[in-house]
Structure 1
Amino acid sequence: MEKIILTTESGSDVPQAMADELGIRIAPMHVILGDESYPDRTIPVADVFDFFKRTKKMPTTSAVNPEEYTAFFLKLREENPEAEIIHIAYSSKASCTYQNAKIALDELRDARIRLIDSETVSSGIALLLWKSAQVIEGAQSADQAEELIRGLIRRERVSFLPDTLEYLRAGGRVSNAAYLGTSLLRLKVLINMVDGRLVASKKYRGDMEKVSFQYLEDFVKNLGGNRDAIILFYAEGFSLPLLERLKDRCRQMGFEQVLSTDIGCVISCHGGPGVMGLAAFADEA
């Protein structure tokens, strides 16, 4: 079968080791601190949190624009003239990255570049890419690989648990009343990916040390029996010793692969310090 290259945006929070191993090419999104714009992952996440703490102004993010996508794909095609390219984009309902990629590809008219809406965000896409690389190895054609990847999207489950709703409130994603209520009652609000959108759901009471294990247990119950892989993703401020205990618990629960990664500036702008998330595949769509 022809060579297939996987591509995505930096908001997918693909660990560098995974990108290197699987040959994943990544187009940078941008984070904006005041008047300065930076490609994602070129500045420390701590700078994002420090900016908000100092100015009380929400850092903002911007998608890869069509011109940047055009340059990205042209360079990749120049380097790999015969390859099939599958671009797995950040959810079209959470960012304009997918639409911008489509604009670029409509102009390029390269039939060997396929665009897929991941319908998820952050390390949900990283896990999807990891699994996609596996299904590509067994696919008979790029058409079949694309079909298999779309099947994975329907089975993936992704959610995250912010330590605070302050950043979601500042970004206009939750109300001030909801923020105050959860803060006073020491509640953690679970955010699920549902049909490509972020949707608030269950509330957990207590600190992250306590509720993260409850969250993990609830998440795994909804997967059915599938235990091939799980990824834990987190922002600066999350306890690394706690992360290791959660990974140990995942292994005890029978997961064959337990992955973890820190998230970059783009996602940290929305989740805030100390956020954690989980992604895995369910038995059925």
Structure 2
Amino acid sequence: MAVVVVTDSSASLPAELIGELGIRVVPLHVLVGDREIREGIDEVAIDYAAETVTTSAPSPGELRDAYVEALTRSGGDGVVAVHLSRQLSATWEAGRQAVRDMDATESVLLVDSLGAGLATGFPVLAAARCAAAGGALTEVYEAAVRAASSSHTFFVVNRTEQLRRGGRLSTAAGFFGSELVSKPVLQLVQGRLELRDKVRTRSKAFAKLVAAAAEAAGAGTAAIGVQHLDAAEAAESVTTQLRERIPQAGEILTAEFGPALAVHLGFGAVGVLVLPGGCG
């Protein structure tokens, strides 16, 4: 058999890659009033700007069930579970509780991706490809950790109120001034969202986004991820610019943000992930 990789639905990976690599995905939850929606499973229209819409992590029980299933499928080779940043979600902590409940600390290894969206997805890919190549449990774990610690993630959002309301943006970023005349460029630093820059127009914000990604890629090969929420044209433009600025880029994935991230990022958000060296 082979090591099985588990992640959460924030990873935003294409269904064909998930199926091809046998990745187990556990849905995050979006709470709309008194309804609980499982991301990627329950289809329902969501008003992402509504103050009554929130998100929640999978329960330890949900994660335990996924880990048990994956461990069985691995034939005892083990499980590597890669989840979105513990600074942004309670998912990793729920996973740790699940592993304790299973008494499986040596056979189910947890990785904090230090990111969200494709910033989680790329470490998942690195781990799953290592597993597919016959990697042992520790090798698969180390592949995920290396990818997580090497990645760079940048976002442009229209407004920061949803991030601040949800507690995902440091209060140290409170010097934005009027958001009517500035567009923030954010970055993930050790799993936390921080302000990188602010400019007056979206076009300048996207230029900063592309420049930051090109700098992060360096001179070697790199995997690139582009995500957006209701901003397909902007994401396509950013992708085209990235291809020009980073001609050595290998794999380029594009995806929409899922509902659990969309609640916090808001319409018009565009994110770029750069992983120097690629996903294995």
Bin the TM-score by the shorter chain: 0.7 to 0.9
Secondary structure of 1:215 counterpart? helix
Match for residue 235 of structure 2 among 236, 243, 266: 243
Q: Does 1:103 align with 2:102?
A: no
Q: Does 1:84 align with 2:78?
A: yes
Q: Is the 8 A contact 1:4 1:83 kept in 2?
A: yes
Structure 2 unpaired stretches of 5+: none
* 1:212-249 CA-partner distances (Å, limit 9, x unpaired): 233112222133223321000111x21x2332232222
Worse-superposed segment, 190-199 or 38-47: 38-47
Over 3 Å counting, the alpha-carbon distance change for 1:229 and 1:32 in structure 2 is: same
TM-score (ref. length: structure 2): 0.87
Over 3 Å counting, the alpha-carbon distance change for 1:14 and 1:202 in structure 2 is: same
Secondary structure of 2:217 counterpart? coil
Over 3 Å counting, the alpha-carbon distance change for 1:178 and 1:65 in structure 2 is: same
Q: Is the 8 A contact 2:27 2:58 kept in 1?
A: yes
* CA distance in structure 1 between the aligned counterparts of 2:110 and 2:151, rounded to whole angstroms: 18
Secondary structure of 1:273 counterpart? coil
- Which residue identity does 1:241 align to in structure 2? E
Match for residue 207 of structure 2 among 199, 206, 213: 213
Match for residue 143 of structure 1 among 132, 138, 143: 138
Aligned residue number for residue 36 of structure 2: 37
Secondary structure of 2:177 counterpart? helix
Over 3 Å counting, the alpha-carbon distance change for 1:48 and 1:72 in structure 2 is: farther
Q: Is the 8 A contact 1:157 1:281 kept in 2?
A: yes
Q: What stretches of structure 1 move > 6 A for 4+ residues in a row? A: none
Over 3 Å counting, the alpha-carbon distance change for 1:199 and 1:44 in structure 2 is: farther
* CA distance in structure 2 between the aligned counterparts of 1:181 and 1:11, rounded to whole angstroms: 30
Identical counterparts, % of pairs? 22
Q: Please identify which structure carries the higher helix content.
A: 1
* CA distance in structure 2 between the aligned counterparts of 1:210 and 1:43, rounded to whole angstroms: 37
Secondary structure of 2:226 counterpart? strand
* CA distance in structure 2 between the aligned counterparts of 1:153 and 1:172, rounded to whole angstroms: 22
Secondary structure of 1:259 counterpart? strand
Aligned residue number for residue 263 of structure 1: 257
Q: Is the 8 A contact 1:232 1:261 kept in 2?
A: yes
Q: Is the 8 A contact 2:3 2:135 kept in 1?
A: no
Aligned residue number for residue 165 of structure 1: 160
- Which residue identity does 1:261 align to in structure 2? A
Structure 1 unpaired stretches of 5+: none
Q: Is the 8 A contact 2:4 2:73 kept in 1?
A: no
Aligned residue number for residue 183 of structure 1: 179
- Which residue identity does 1:258 align to in structure 2? I
* CA distance in structure 2 between the aligned counterparts of 1:179 and 1:30, rounded to whole angstroms: 31
Q: Is the 8 A contact 1:135 1:149 kept in 2?
A: no
- Which residue identity does 2:13 align to in structure 1? V
* CA distance in structure 2 between the aligned counterparts of 1:148 and 1:172, rounded to whole angstroms: 30
Q: Is the 8 A contact 1:58 1:170 kept in 2?
A: no
Aligned residue number for residue 148 of structure 2: 153
